[in-house]
């Protein structure tokens, strides 16, 4: 059931990115497809999938300027979804020895990244920070659920599905806005609501989610 759920999430993301690539760079669509297929093949190998997902997240953080927007979105989203899959399986089969310390640490790290994101004007860096914060939300949710005796599967599934929906919509909406208006800074997107009202509305919904 869990594997089927995450496979569906990866396929939803893959379909969305392939549609985006079809209208922009077709070759990037092949790249998205290869990354997606590689994760679908190893998704049952939890530790391998988690190691690869962390590698993708770190790569997107360290080499954001050396990759295309599509590659950045793929690294960040696929890495986050796969890592969330690892976290859900880990909390279902293990118990943290110091959950309160983990909760405090996660909250502090989230606050730090939030402050960085508020003052970040670079669009790509902002999206990466957003992706990391959402991943920490999943970790926090699962930690609290395991500590308080809540339903880990129910809470984790809701949080991860919300993150996937919000993440895909945010990456695609801001990607379309930045491409259509040839902007790479968040402050340069002012007025986009008048030029692309539907896409701007999607970006607002994603940000609120």
The domain ranges of the chain are 2-208
190 phi and psi angles, rounded to 5 deg: -60, 135
* pTM for this predicted structure: 0.72
Q: CA angle, 186 as apex, 181 and 188 as ends, to 5°?
A: 50
Residue 122 β-bridge partners: 185
**Dihedral class, residue 191 (left if φ above 0, else alpha if ψ from -120 to 50, else beta):** left
pLDDT at 22: 61
Q: pLDDT 10s digit of each residue in the chain, 209 long?
A: 666 766 777 777 666 666 666 666 666 666 666 776 676 666 666 667 677 777 777 777 777 677 777 777 777 777 777 777 778 778 777 777 888 888 899 999 989 988 988 888 787 788 788 888 888 888 888 888 777 765 666 666 666 767 667 776 777 677 666 665 566 677 776 766 666 676 677 777 776 76
Q: CA angle, 170 as apex, 164 and 57 as ends, to 5°?
A: 60
pLDDT at 150: 59
């Amino acid at each position: 059931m869990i594997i089927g759920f995450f496979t569906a999430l990866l396929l939803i993301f893959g379909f969305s990115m392939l549609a985006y690539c079809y209208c922009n760079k077709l070759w990037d669509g092949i790249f998205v497809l290869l990354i997606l297929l590689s994760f679908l093949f190893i998704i049952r190998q939890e530790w391998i999938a988690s190691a690869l997902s962390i590698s993708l997240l770190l790569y997107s953080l360290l080499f954001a300027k050396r990759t295309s927007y599509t590659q950045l979105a793929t690294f960040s989203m696929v890495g986050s979804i796969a890592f969330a899959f690892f976290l859900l399986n880990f909390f279902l089969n293990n118990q943290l020895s110091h959950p309160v310390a983990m909760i405090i640490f996660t909250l502090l790290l989230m606050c730090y990244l939030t402050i960085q994101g508020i003052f970040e004007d670079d669009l790509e860096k902002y999206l990466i920070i957003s992706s990391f914060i959402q991943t920490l939300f999943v970790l926090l949710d699962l930690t609290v659920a395991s500590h308080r005796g809540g339903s880990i599967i129910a809470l984790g599934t809701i949080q991860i599905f919300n993150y996937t929906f919000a993440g895909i919509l945010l990456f695609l909406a801001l990607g379309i806005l930045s491409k259509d208006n040839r902007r790479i800074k968040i402050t340069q997107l002012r007025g986009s609501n008048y030029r692309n009202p539907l896409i701007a509305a999607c970006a607002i919904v994603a940000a609120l989610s």
